[in-house]
Amino acid sequence: MDESTQQIKIPAGFRFAGVHCGLKRNPNKEDISLIVCDAPATAAGVYTTNKVFAAPVRWDRSRTPSNKIRAVITNSGNANACTGEQGEKNCAEMAAIVAEHIGAAADDVLVMSTGIIGVQLPMEKIRSGIAAAASQTGTEAPAFIAAARGILTTDNGKKLASRTATIDGRTFQIAGMCKGAGMIAPNMATMLSIVLTDAPLTAEQAQSVLGQVADETFNCIRVDGHMSTNDTLLLLASGAEGGAPLTDSQVDQLQAVMKEACEEMAKLIPADGEGATHLIKIDVEGCATREDAKKIAIEVADSPLVKTAITGGDPNWGRIVSAVGYAGVPFNPLKLELRLNDILLYQEGTPVTFDAKTVSGSIKGSFETHVQLTLFEGDAKARVWASDLTVDYVKFNADYST
């Protein structure tokens, strides 16, 4: 049991299992992940906005928000995307198999899939995998970890976070798991995450909290700007903490702590982006609206020229400033200010004198690079986390052949 395993505090009201059923080649890698709710749980979901979306996205979207979810079943190794009518049937069958094992209705089981696109699920393997998982659920860290491993594809390791929120003398546990390294893998696509809490949230509260948290965490990460067909973020609230419903103010406090946990998880994705040698933190401040700030941060995050400059340890402010300029956001370029790792590079529309070696050294000397842009158009801001772009990214994605 490693450090992170010991530290994870798991909300009450849930049981977990992760097993290998043969979707992944390596028998030591779990490919079925099951979370069972002891009693009907509140659930909320946020999904990919891709017009081409997978069967489980369609299934879950029509069933959340809900106040009676009993389980989430996830398979990794196959995305069940672009699989037509048979894919829809297979997704429904996954829910039905789980429902049968735990004594629930299929409609109260959510489904997630991640892996190769355009291949039908091997349902025999899935069936035996679900049976095995259902027979060995546990409430402790090892079971939680196995479930967290069961949603991974090309990730280098599990991605977890947990927090304890103390609100008006009550204690709530929050724990989450996620997967994703960008849409980095051959025909693989997906960011998946499940956040659990024992707080008593209504379906409406859960959906509102999740939407806001997603906007500031999982929707603020970029590896390669290629949106997947399977992105799913779920929140399950068991209410097992046992207290009264939460007031608006208590929900806000819970949301703030949940945001911390989600940001911790979200950052792990670009940090593990295929071939990534830097995690780039982009702060855009002084915008008229948060939407403006986010648009700019995303253009900077997605520019291959900015990414490769960071890869090379080059304080190439021209690439950053010009990316700001094409984000489609109105601003006065003569006021634009740029800092890299806290060093001023550009102010009032003109470059300032700086020691390039010092800035370059600060990029090369740290895994995290901080890009700070200020626009002086208002008070809104946004933060985006991105991977850099390396030779290994290109090799990985070009050398593979379907």
Which positions are annotated as active-site residues?
190
Q: What's the CA gap between 234 and 236, in Å, rounded?
A: 7
371 contributes a contact to a copy of itself by CB under 8 A: no
Q: HSE-up of 103 (CA within 13 Å, CB side)?
A: 3
Residue 360 Cβ vs a copy of itself, minimum distance, rounded to whole Å: 6
Q: What's the CA gap between 79 and 85, in Å, rounded?
A: 14
What are the phi and psi torsion angles at 277 (to 5°)? -115, -10
Q: What's the CA gap between 205 and 271, in Å, rounded?
A: 31
367 contributes a contact to a copy of itself by CB under 8 A: no
Q: Which of 103, 169, 330, 365 binds a copy of itself (CB under 8 A)?
A: 330
312 contributes a contact to a copy of itself by CB under 8 A: yes
- CA distances in angstroms from 349 to 324, 333, 334, 336, 374, listed in the order given: 12, 6, 4, 6, 12
Cβ contact 117:187 at 8 Å: yes
Nearer to a copy of itself, 11 or 275 (CB): 275
Task: Pick out residues in 107-146 that bind a copy of itself (CB under 8 A).
Answer: 116-118
Helix H or strand E segment including 208: helix 203-216
Cβ contact 172:239 at 8 Å: no
Q: What's the CA gap between 14 and 177, in Å, rounded?
A: 14
Q: What's the CA gap between 182 and 397, in Å, rounded?
A: 12
Stretch that binds a copy of itself, among 60-68, 157-165, 286-294, 310-318 (CB under 8 A): 310-318
Q: What's the CA gap between 45 and 303, in Å, rounded?
A: 30
The verdict on whether residue 267 carries a ligand-binding annotation is no
Q: What's the CA gap between 59 and 91, in Å, rounded?
A: 8
Position 249, amino acid:
S
353 contributes a contact to a copy of itself by CB under 8 A: no
Q: What's the CA gap between 230 and 248, in Å, rounded?
A: 32
**171 closest CA partner among 205, 200, 142:** 200
Residue 51 Cβ vs a copy of itself, minimum distance, rounded to whole Å: 4
Paired strand residues for 37: 14
How many CB atoms sit inside 10 A of residue 401's CB? 5
The verdict on whether residue 24 carries a ligand-binding annotation is no
Stretch that binds a copy of itself, among 30-38, 129-137, 198-206, 221-229 (CB under 8 A): 221-229
Q: Which of 5, 22, 40, 50 binds a copy of itself (CB under 8 A)?
A: 50
Task: Pick out residues in 176-205 that bind a copy of itself (CB under 8 A).
Answer: 183, 186-187, 189
Q: Which of 1, 39, 105, 394 binds a copy of itself (CB under 8 A)?
A: 394
67 contributes a contact to a copy of itself by CB under 8 A: no
Nearer to a copy of itself, 240 or 336 (CB): 336
Write the interaction track for a copy of itself spanning residues 69-108; mark x where CB under 8 A is met and - where it is not. ------------xxxx------------------------
Residue 309, both tokens: 């400059």
Residue 193 Cβ vs a copy of itself, minimum distance, rounded to whole Å: 19
Residue 398 Cβ vs a copy of itself, minimum distance, rounded to whole Å: 4
Residue 2 Cβ vs a copy of itself, minimum distance, rounded to whole Å: 33
Nearer to a copy of itself, 136 or 308 (CB): 308
59 contributes a contact to a copy of itself by CB under 8 A: no
Q: What's the CA gap between 91 and 86, in Å, rounded?
A: 9
Cβ contact 246:238 at 8 Å: no
289 contributes a contact to a copy of itself by CB under 8 A: no
Write the interaction track for a copy of itself spanning residues 229-248; mark x where CB under 8 A is met and - where it is not. x-------------------
Q: What's the CA gap between 40 and 33, in Å, rounded?
A: 19
305 contributes a contact to a copy of itself by CB under 8 A: yes
Residue 12 Cβ vs a copy of itself, minimum distance, rounded to whole Å: 38
366 contributes a contact to a copy of itself by CB under 8 A: no
333 contributes a contact to a copy of itself by CB under 8 A: yes
Q: What's the CA gap between 229 and 183, in Å, rounded?
A: 10
Position 160, amino acid:
L
Q: HSE-up of 181 (CA within 13 Å, CB side)?
A: 24
Binding positions for a copy of itself, rule: CB under 8 A: 49-53, 81-84, 116-118, 183, 186-187, 189, 224-229, 302-306, 308-309, 311-319, 321-326, 329-331, 333, 336, 346, 348-351, 356, 360, 389-391, 393-395, 397-402
Residue set of the binding site for substrate = 153, 179, 190, 274, 397, 402
